[in-house]
Amino acid sequence: MTIDFPVSIEIFGHSVLIHPIFESVGIFIAMRYYAFLRKRNKSSLSTIQSFGIIIGALVGALLGSKIIGTLENPQAFLDAENQFLFFWTSNTIVGGLTLGLIGVELTKKIIGHKESTGDLIVFPLILAMIIGRIGCFLTGVYEQTYGIETTSIFGMNLGDGLMRHPVALYEIVYLLLLWIVLKIIQEKYIYPSGYLFQIFMLAYFLFRFCLDFIKPIHPLFLGLSSIQLTCVCVIIYYIFKLLQTKPKYIK
Q: What is the DSSP string of 21-45?
A: HHHHHHHHHHHHHHHHHHHHS--SS
Q: Which domain holds residue 26?
A: 8-42+116-143+175-250
pTM of the entire structure?
A: 0.91
- pLDDT value of residue 174: 98
- Average confidence (pLDDT) per 10 residues, the chain, 251 residues: 82 85 91 86 70 80 89 88 85 90 85 76 92 94 91 94 96 98 92 90 97 92 94 95 81 56
Q: Are residues 185 and 94 in the same domain?
A: no
- Contact status, residue 19 vs residue 135, Cβ threshold 8 Å: yes
- Contact status, residue 52 vs residue 111, Cβ threshold 8 Å: yes
Q: Are residues 74 and 132 in the same domain?
A: no
- CA distances (Å), origin 126, targets 9, 45, 167, 245: 26, 23, 16, 23
- pLDDT value of residue 162: 94
- pLDDT value of residue 200: 95
* Rounded Cα gap, residues 180 and 167, in angstroms: 20
Report how many domains make up the chain. 2
- pLDDT value of residue 97: 92
Pick the closest to residue 105 from 47, 46, 59, 48 (CA basis): 59
- pLDDT value of residue 37: 86
Q: Are residues 36 and 75 in the same domain?
A: no
- pLDDT value of residue 167: 97
Q: Are residues 231 and 219 in the same domain?
A: yes
